Structure 1
């Protein structure tokens, strides 16, 4: 379209009238455009104000919680739209300190900064940005941007050489990338071809010998690049060969180049299937394809290609901790110092929640001879990450304490190092017990290790005994295995006196495997004692075994009697049902009359006793009664009055006993035997009964060994006759120092989803069908009431975090029947968090510890409070009164305090309430 000046020049000189008309029309158009421009400017200002408001809100949220990935990306987007480069640079810098940036984010940042380069200082800053980008992920586009930026330095001294160095770095990093590496090779060849074209003489010019030599040398560089590329298996490498032949002007190439090309082409055919799968799949299927490719490359034993395959996989699946573990383990084998350190730092930047990565990093640093200050810094950082399981903390503490032990040089002065070790061991033991109780270190690994070091290296057997005694007093006294380890340590570094004492204590305490203790005791006296001591060991051992056999026989006899009694009752009931033909109407009437007699209800409640109520309340919690409740005494009292069966509980057998509750009252012992038979040998099942002899829905299952208890605990929450059965350890909760125990995690679980709003009729199979489309499922758990009816809530656990993240994006807001479900990453609040301070689970965000885009909404606990106002007092809204709701609420709030303080005469008494509730 021609400009006005051009139009003016094209008008004939004599046609002044037409010229004036055109200028007038132009002026009108300009005025109209001006009005539109003012209007657009006003709209633009309003939009910018809205964006500024959004940016300020995001700044506030990020300052409170910097681990919100989406807040950072949204702020960067808004700042880029309004063009505030200074604040945009600061926002990007802040995000990069907390998260690794994606390829797209780096390219936007780099291109914005490149346009602002004016001085050598600016160029140096951009180059530093490129170095940071290289540390996050392997990206061919970022390397292409780098070499293009380097080409801009050709005018400098040695500029061409600097460009070649940039290209060589790019080839070393991404030149083996099968699907995208050819882009770097082609860019390199185009650059060298351009240099070659610049050396060609002008037509008709006389070429000197120096020019001829320079041209040949440069031409040889291009040929060399072709040959280097043709030995690398890259997609569409046949076209590169055709281009090389065209460059040479020949139909064939030398035999050496052809042989190298054929070999590379054969390698490409072997991996072509994996490349096709990577292109056609995504999510967990793509990750499996990457794993297959990595396995294939590892068989070929070409480290550079293996590393490239790992880097490609990690770029697309950066939140899979297992993949980072495989990569860092491979780097450990290569034994490349700086590469190992860089690999672990990148891994922990993406997956800081993986305790195994932290442990492996400590070991890698120790192999490299890293100084103590750095090792302590890494360990402290790991312990502050916030692992989800006690086992993660235990692994981390164990790894760090192992390092501190190896750090001690026992042949020199080691006072300081030994003190550091002891203080750290004490801190580790206290941390695990205070936060997780006995479940934090169930086998006492930390204290066993500590006691061994004190005994062997420090020659401090007294301290070693103190540590072991504390360990045995915290719930391990009935375990034969623990006593035998204590005895072996004393046998190696102690004396016979204490060995004998340990075995005698164990003989009177062990309940899970007493035969092992008696055998060890007898063997010890055979080897170390005299005849009198040997006779004492035999007598004590035989007496203890006799008592144990007697208890077992009584338990078996009692069990047989109970089973016979139950069987007889069942037979009698069946016989009575056959003989009787009850009248349905009379039976219903009599039951109604019986239910209306308050005196009878009082009698039943009084006969049950206070413990009946206490036991039932305990049964609701799913926990065994504490020793304070003294269930044995109460049950004995009931038995003496022939109100029910006697249930005697032996606290010394708690380690081989589980407490079961929330059972159906009709569930019998035979059914329980069928359920727990797969866990191990059962020695006794004791169901607690009421004064009528009917089950109260809870009891004890005793096994022959403690390993069976571990198997039985896995049956917790399993549905038995339509009700979830609660299974827990049998222990005195009042004497346990640890806080309340909970079966499930109370911290962020990135591979688990929390779903609410489900239909109450939905089945577990239906939930699995919906969510297995997004990845491989590990577990699906529906939350139910105590009677087994669903609450409309469920948990879905995937094998990795990436599948869970994808499921949140695709399933949140999904319509299931007539219900719209809500899906979020599982992140329960701390159990001690006051209900008033808990945030709404689907509106508040939670810190994200990994890299990449996150959808990490967290959920809180649902409110369970209900209104205690009687229905008769609740005001039902009248039709057409919705417009008055706001004003009524305001009046109620304003008058509430004054009426409460003055104690007005209109306040209703208890009698008024009673009369109102008795109205028909």
Structure 2
């Protein structure tokens, strides 16, 4: 280890106070002041480093995948000389990330500087092996070779086993980096130097062994001269000088004199190859080049090497590229693809894929190719399972990458179960089912596209039938997807197509009956209806087709009516301040409040005589007709004319009806937990449902136990009434036709106002063409007083006022014309009639 590194690794011994006292006081000179300042500065820096260590330790505990924190932590520990912590920090980083060649060099050198004994030799050798395995690095290989020569006793003593071990290590280094155009010559030279050292150890009397060693050195020269490397001319000169030393040639007039013809031919070819590659090497040697530009330069270089057809040179060039750009996933993908299609060497392919996913673990495609490559190479189920489990723990950019991993794993299991002649122990279909279940639990409709979700479930259901031989399990697969995404058309279509594909026609027909009344997203409801008709044309009898047609036709009408209603609600009532249906008022079954519209004089009907500042309901409808489309207004008037009228003397606002109840069923005794879906499902066999209303209590928000269901025609209404007394959610329903006339007569009116002054005001005029909830005027009771509990209701087609409530007698309100006769004469302030006594009142009646 160099001197600076050794100093950084030293652990300072603590100085004692006694030792300081024995030396006596320090001389007062500038150097002593400088030394004191330096020590103070060092202590300050050490304090800062310790604080930084604590911060980095905290960061790594929270996130062990923080790469920069790992690097800084190791550097700080190395600078402070914390040996044990440094080892643990390096081991921890190695588990999460591949270390750079420089980091491996520092680690190995630090361990060598601490202990050179043979006991730790094997551990340091393992460090070098891990380092040269991660990335291609000629300097790291050179350090490894030097370490073995110096520290391995068998090698240093030139024992036969040590010589064999060293030659094997050199050959590995040449295979890894011997064709490296720029740095490969360093390994060749080191190899030749080692063999020449061996030559010097051979005795002069052993001519046979010396001759063999000379041949080994000559062979190394010939091999190197046939490879395009930097300074190839210098290698040729060294070779000729060496041959002169051996006494084989003495003519140095020409550079190729004394060189065998085959070596000259190989040398010239290598020189041409180097000249062809020099421009690519010049591009890579630039220091100011960006990573994307460097990547492109490597790709151009690799493409050129691939055209030469030498896989070993292409592989080395890929290794050089990934050592410079380890985080470029596209580079790893291209490298792995090349190995899969061209090199196809089992241990090399596995090794490269393993390093690729360590460097770019966030790329799902790399993991998928890794699994496929292992399957091609005949990997065991244990190895495949381990790789898959590692991949699922990674963080990918999209859920589709996770899905692709699950499907790749399932594909491999299916192939090995279906086609392998000899199955592995424990390899059976339950593994596939468990993998599908894991995927289903992992994903939901919100995570991935519906096409991908269908791909997963349809594949699962098909394998349940073909491999699992369980049609019930396949049905359960689809039913589980229906629960998740039953409102999506493609889900039902996929389920039906599977049934048809296996020849289950009746089961497919029952699915159509289940789903044609459901509210599917988009235009799915219409499409499933037409799909049912096509199905019956192709697979059913005429009776099946007629039945489907009878079911589908009212459903399509219902959907068309709903679409029309949506268009009316969206376009017929523009959002104007004085002509807008209030959206803040909760929807009621019979009516919805609309604001009173004040019209200009030119729009007022001449034959109407409303109060000043008031507009009758008929005028409001007429004005709305002038402002809006005629067809829309006609529908609104038709709906309004079918409603009963209820008077409210307090609000004086007319209300328009939303529902006609002309083809409506009244259902009572409903379970309070029931929802619209339950009622729609209950009437699904008859069909024709256009609307469902479940009234709720205003105060509690709970259901009131009854509902109104509108049907498209009388036929469907009759079918619904026929289901009277049938159970839904455990309770027998009472179903009858809704009678709007009866509902109006029995509709409760609001009680009269308790304001004592109200009785002396004129009561509001009753109108048969409008409906309002009125506050009844006080009525005189039999004792001459007034009753404010009476209620009045005026129904359409009836001109008389009918009081309802506890007081059942009829009495005219005070605002009605008096019995004395005409009241046309206005009463001024001076013409107020005095109240009559009983005698005066009796005399007036007798006179009349």
Q: Which residue of 2 aligns with 1:225?
A: 220
The structure richer in helix per residue is 1
Q: For 2:467, which of 454, 457, 471 is the aligned residue?
A: 457
Contact kept in structure 2, 1:638 and 1:645, CA below 8 Å: no
- Which of 43, 65, 68 is the aligned partner of 2:66? 68
Against the structure 1 CA distance between its residues 319 and 629, is the aligned structure 2 distance closer, same or farther, given a 3 Å change threshold? farther
Matched position secondary structure for 2:188: helix
2:397 aligned residue (379, 388, 395) = 388
| Bigger mean CA deviation after superposition, 505-514 or 485-494 | 505-514
Q: Which residue does the alignment assign to 1:137?
A: 135
Map Cα deviations across residues 394-416 of structure 1 (whole Å, 9 max, x no partner).
Answer: 22222233344445469999999
Select which of 180, 184, 188 maps to 1:185: 188
Aligned residues: 555
Alpha-carbon deviations, 1:226-267, whole Å to 9, x = none?
A: 111122222332332343334335532222122222333333
Q: Is the 8 A contact 2:580 2:595 kept in 1?
A: no
Q: Distance in 1 between matches of 2:424 and 2:170?
A: 54
| Aligned mates of 1:542, 1:277 — CA distance in 2 | 74
> Are the counterparts in 2 of residues 178 and 235 from structure 1 also a CA contact under 8 Å?
yes
Answer yes or no: is 1:303 the counterpart of 2:311.
yes
8 A contact 1:454–1:460 mirrored in 2: yes
Specify the alignment match of 1:154 in structure 2.
156
Instruction: Write the mapping of 1:15-30 to structure 2, written as runs, cut at 5 A.
Output: none
Say whether 1:240 aligns with 2:238: no
Q: 1:675 — aligned with what?
A: none
Aligned match of 1:94: 92
Change (3 A) 1:156 1:605: farther
> Cα gap change, 1:186/1:635 in structure 2, threshold over 3 Å: closer, same or farther?
farther
Matched, 1:316 2:324: yes
Unpaired segments ≥5 residues, structure 2: 1-24, 245-251, 598-619, 630-848
- Residue 170 of structure 1 deviates from its aligned partner by 0.6
2:106 to 91, 97, 108: 108
1:860 corresponds in structure 2 to none
Question: In the alignment, is residue 166 of structure 1 matched against residue 172 of structure 2?
Answer: no
Q: Cα–Cα, structure 1 residues 254 and 638, in superposed 2: closer, same or farther, change >3 Å?
A: farther
Aligned equivalent of 2:263 = 257
The match for 2:119 among 118, 121, 127 is: 121
- Residue 504 (structure 1) shift: 5.5
| Structure 2 residue aligned with 1:344 | 353
> Is contact 1:433–1:440 with CA below 8 Å preserved after alignment?
no
C-alpha displacement of 1:532: 3.3
Which structure is larger by alpha-carbon Rg, 1 or 2?
Answer: 2
Q: 2:282 & 2:159 partners in 1: Cα distance? A: 45
Partner of 1:833: none
Distance in 2, Cα, partners of 1:446 & 1:132: 40
RMSD across aligned positions (CA):
4.6
Once residues 636 and 168 of structure 1 are traced to their aligned partners in structure 2, the CA distance between those partners, rounded to angstroms, is 95
Distance 2:124 2:260 in 1: 43
> Which structure 2 residues correspond to residues 407-806 of structure 1 after superposition, within 5 A?
408=417, 417-433=428-444, 436-437=446-447, 439=449, 443-472=453-482, 474-475=484-485, 477-479=487-489, 482-503=491-512, 512=523, 524-525=535-536, 528-534=539-545, 609=582
Quickly say closer, same or farther: Cα 1:133–1:453, change in 2 above 3 A. same
* TM, length-normalised to structure 2: 0.57
Against the structure 1 CA distance between its residues 629 and 379, is the aligned structure 2 distance closer, same or farther, given a 3 Å change threshold? Answer: farther
Counterpart CA distance in 2 for 1:40 and 1:413 is 70
d(CA) in 2 for partners of 1:401, 1:37:
71
User: Following TM superposition, by how much is the alpha carbon of 1:460 offset from its aligned partner in structure 2, in angstroms?
Assistant: 2.7
Q: TM-score scaled to structure 1, two decimals? A: 0.53
Higher RCO, 1 vs 2 (CA within 8 Å, ≥6 residues apart):
1
2:407 paired with 1:401: no
SS at match of 1:145: helix
Distance 1:47 1:326, change over 3 A: same
After TM superposition, the structure 1 stretch with the greater mean CA deviation from structure 2, 61-70 or 96-105, is 61-70
Q: Structure 1 407/165 Cα, relative in aligned 2: closer, same or farther at 3 Å?
A: closer
Q: Does 1:266 align with 2:272?
A: yes
Q: Distance in 2 between matches of 1:28 and 1:519?
A: 105
Q: CA deviation at 1:114?
A: 2.4
**8 A Cα contact 2:399 2:448, kept in partner:** no
Task: For residue 100 of structure 1, give the secondary structure of its aligned residue in structure 2.
Answer: coil
Query: What do residues 473-512 of structure 1 show as CA deviations (whole Å, max 9, x unaligned)?
Result: 5446553x55443333212324221133345566666765
Q: Which residue of 2 aligns with 1:692?
A: none
Secondary structure at 2:280's aligned position in 1?
Answer: helix
Q: Deviations over 1:693-721 (max 9, x none)?
A: xxxxxxxxxxxxxxxxxxxxxxxxxxxxx
| Alpha-carbon distance, 1:536 to partner | 5.2
Change in 2 beyond 3 A, CA 1:272/1:549: farther
